[in-house]
């Protein structure tokens, strides 16, 4: 899939470079044009690669990926759920610790585990849209992107009575239409500050160490209660790591909040 993405970026880069070359042909002597073309192609490819794959890139539009410093706030976000029995175990921990989090959910998994979606909402956690299929968006058309977002939000609203107001692209990868379609659907695009690659299942101690090493004021932490649309994906390591992570974040004096609460603090 990464190769497909890079191929698409290269094609777009070539088109951009070709368009620019057309201008140069009409305005620049041949020798100068030939010297400009290859660097222009490389530059275009580099910019597009950065814009597509860098989750915090502002090239395609503003995206919220960290909170305002000085607020002593951290937001825990869970991607790719719901995924049982792990989402319920995470909810048990959050309830015991008195923490509210933000869940960026996949439509297919919401359809598979509607009870978990209802519980997430009933216990005061924030509902986020993470597309229906978890397929990467840079290869999709605006209509397809809009469909992924709308179908997921429609289902979450039917299950909970609440429509998501936040959207996170799978892998954080975007194209020029992703943020636009998310905003048209009433969602603010959200990325993250710190990811710890917990879906690789590196071990409980590694997940804890990576998290606590990277936690800062204003951090949006990305962890997972699922793994794409894989049914029953093993998230047990994250479940076992979570109590220690929460306790240590609190011990450091940070308040655990939802992403929307972090946004609101940043606007004050």
* Position 19 confidence tier, pLDDT thresholds 50, 70, 90: low
The pLDDT score that the predictor gives to residue 50 is 76
Residue 6 in tokens: 């890079």
> Rounded to whole angstroms, how far apart are CA atoms 104 and 259?
11
> Rounded to whole angstroms, how far apart are CA atoms 192 and 232?
25
Neighbours of 207 (CB within 10 A): 23
> With pLDDT > 70 as the criterion, what percentage of the chain qualifies?
82
| E-assigned strand segments in 84-161 | 102-105, 126-129
H-run or E-run covering 195: strand 194-195
> Rounded to whole angstroms, how far apart are CA atoms 98 and 60?
37
Contact 74/82 with Cβ under 8 angstroms? Answer: no
Question: Domains, the chain, ranges and CATH?
Answer: 2-53 (no CATH), 73-267 (3.20.20.370)
pLDDT 10s digits, 132-169? 999 999 989 999 999 999 999 999 999 999 999 999 99
Residues annotated as catalytic (active site), given as ranges = 79, 224
* Position 201 confidence tier, pLDDT thresholds 50, 70, 90: very high
> Rounded to whole angstroms, how far apart are CA atoms 245 and 240?
10
Residue 243 in tokens: 């109590």
pLDDT 10s digits, 79-110? 999 999 999 999 999 999 999 999 999 999 99
Determine the angle formed by the axes of helices 114-122 and 142-160, rounding to 10 degrees: 70
> Rounded to whole angstroms, how far apart are CA atoms 20 and 41?
9
The pLDDT score that the predictor gives to residue 23 is 56
> Rounded to whole angstroms, how far apart are CA atoms 142 and 145?
5
């Amino acid at each position: 899939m990464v190769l497909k993405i890079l191929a698409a970026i290269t094609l777009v880069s070539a088109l951009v470079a070709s368009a620019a070359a057309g201008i140069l042909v009409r305005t620049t002597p041949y020798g100068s044009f030939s010297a400009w073309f290859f660097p222009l192609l490389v530059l275009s490819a580099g910019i597009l690669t950065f814009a597509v794959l860098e989750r915090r890139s502002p090239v395609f539009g503003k995206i919220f990926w960290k909170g305002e410093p000085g607020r002593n706030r951290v937001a825990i976000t869970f991607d790719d759920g719901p995924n049982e029995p792990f989402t319920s175990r995470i909810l048990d921990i959050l309830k015991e610790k008195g923490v509210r989090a933000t869940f960026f959910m996949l439509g297919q998994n919401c359809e598979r585990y509607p009870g978990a979606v209802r519980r997430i909402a009933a216990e005061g956690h924030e509902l986020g849209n993470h597309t229906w299929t978890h397929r990467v968006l840079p290869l999709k058309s605006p209509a397809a992107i809009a469909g992924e977002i709308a179908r997921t939000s429609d289902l979450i609203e039917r299950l909970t009575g609440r429509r998501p107001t936040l959207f996170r692209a799978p892998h954080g990868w975007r194209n020029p239409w992703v943020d636009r379609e998310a905003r048209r659907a009433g969602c603010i695009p959200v990325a993250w500050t710190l990811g710890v690659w917990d879906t690789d299942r590196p071990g409980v101690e590694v997940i804890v160490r990576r998290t606590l090493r990277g936690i800062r004021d204003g951090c949006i932490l990305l962890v997972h209660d699922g793994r794409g649309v894989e049914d029953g994906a093993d998230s047990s390591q994250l479940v076992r790591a979570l109590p220690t992570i929460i306790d240590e974040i609190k011990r450091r004096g940070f308040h655990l909040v939802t992403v929307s609460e972090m946004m609101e603090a940043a606007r004050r």
